[in-house]
Amino acid sequence: MPRLYESRKRILVTGGAGFLGSHLIDRLIAQGHEVICADNLFTGTKRNIEHLHANPRFEFLRHDVCNPLKLEVDEIYNLACPASPVHYQYNPVLTTKTSVMGAMNMLGLAKRLRCRIFQASTSEVYGDPEVHPQREDYWGHVNPIGTRACYDEGKRCAETLFFDYHRQHGVEIRVARIFNTYGPRMHPRDGRVVSNFITQALAGEDLTVYGDGAQTRSFCYVDDLIDGFLRLMEAPSGVTGPVNLGNPHEFTMMELSSQVLKLTGASVKVIHQPLPADDPRQRRPDISLARETLGWEPKVELAEGLANTIAYFRTLSPPH
């Protein structure tokens, strides 16, 4: 139900035209808030937010968070950053700048406004983990000069900035470490395994599995993740995070490919290619902290979420 006017907030969402940002904005608008979406459209798309343009409580601002932004808002969600290897490796210097300078600019705004700010961090801060599953107190196993470091280390530095602004300036922060998430509005060419498998299957192409397919990931449906965002942002003062948000159920790449083939009805093969550099062998969150502090855990099963995602990808034209 929409909130009463007295509790309406003016909220900034950076990266709001992206996959996660657009879903977050939908939920905030449904709650009755006013939302400013700031996005430079590097990986985001107007398609994701076109249904909101007629809404008087929605405003789109084309802006790069590497540059300062002067607004009056009550809350900030900082989601701006390319998040898939294909996109963040395309311009690695820009990726690092977006993570680090974007965090500094948004934290500076939150400091001036004395408002709460949310950081969309990532499970990539754990790198190729030597601890399984990953808990928030694990410091990670990251190659600082590898091809993925622009994203991994950029997000790690952003977390450093968030906690230093919290300690030094008293900025009220919330930090979420996001594990693999999927759902409608994923970019069809983001290079992630779910979108890769679905686009290949719908195009009648063989599914590409890197390595032997025994490496694992956990897949969280987007609706569950956004619920975690909102619960973390609304948690009592003192709950800063970082908090893992993801699905603790683990699947191999071969298991995922079988599910996609079954749900799409595609009659294609699975082919194998070499693993990319620094690709993690396994990734699964320990979500004990999210359960205890937020009362949160994912509820959407993989088959249901994949069916919804496949239905969305079928609407894309021309087919990818």
151 catalytic residue (yes or no): yes
| pLDDT grade for 217, boundaries at 50, 70 and 90 | confident
3-state secondary structure of 128: coil
User: What pTM was computed for the model?
Assistant: 0.92
CB 39, CB 62: distance < 8 Å: yes
Is it the case that residue 263 has pLDDT exceeding 70?
A: yes
Kindly state the average pLDDT of the residues 20-27: 98
More confident residue, 140 or 190: 140
- Which one from 77, 88, 126, 151 is the annotated catalytic residue? 151
3-state secondary structure of 108: helix
Kindly state the average pLDDT of the residues 206-222: 91
In the numeric block, which tokens belong to residue 172? 């009220």
3-state secondary structure of 198: helix
Is it the case that residue 318 has pLDDT exceeding 60?
A: no
For the chain, the farthest-separated pair of C-alpha atoms sits apart, in whole angstroms, at: 58
Is it the case that residue 3 has pLDDT exceeding 50?
A: no
Is it the case that residue 86 has pLDDT exceeding 90?
A: no
Domain residue spans in the chain?
A: 5-187+220-247+282-299
CA-to-CA distance for 144 and 138, rounded, in angstroms?
A: 17
Kindly state the average pLDDT of the residues 263-268: 94
Which range (46-55, 82-91, 116-125, 168-177) has the least confidence?
Answer: 82-91
Q: Which residues contact 243 (CB under 8 A, 6 or more apart)?
A: 136, 175, 176, 177, 228, 232, 289, 290, 293, 294
Of residues 71, 31, 39, 75, the one with CA closest to residue 55? 31
CB 10, CB 37: distance < 8 Å: no
Report the pLDDT value the prediction gives residue 84, as an integer from 0 to 100: 66
Strand partners, 229: none
CB 188, CB 313: distance < 8 Å: yes
Strand partners, 117: 76, 173
Is it the case that residue 11 has pLDDT exceeding 70?
A: yes
Report the pLDDT value the prediction gives residue 75, as an integer from 0 to 100: 98
CB 248, CB 291: distance < 8 Å: no
Kindly state the average pLDDT of the residues 129-141: 91
CB 23, CB 183: distance < 8 Å: yes
CA-to-CA distance for 241 and 249, rounded, in angstroms?
A: 22
CB 129, CB 282: distance < 8 Å: yes
Q: Which residues contact 84 (CB under 8 A, 6 or more apart)?
A: 43, 187, 190, 191, 192
Domain 5-187+220-247+282-299, CATH class in plain words? alpha beta
Report the pLDDT value the prediction gives residue 279, as an integer from 0 to 100: 67
Report the pLDDT value the prediction gives residue 283, as an integer from 0 to 100: 79
Q: Label residue 139 exposed, middle or buried (CB < 10 Å: 0-12, 13-18, 19+).
A: exposed
Which range (61-65, 80-84, 176-180, 296-300) has the least confidence?
Answer: 80-84
Report the pLDDT value the prediction gives residue 253, as an integer from 0 to 100: 93
What proportion of the chain, given as a percentage, has pLDDT over 90?
78
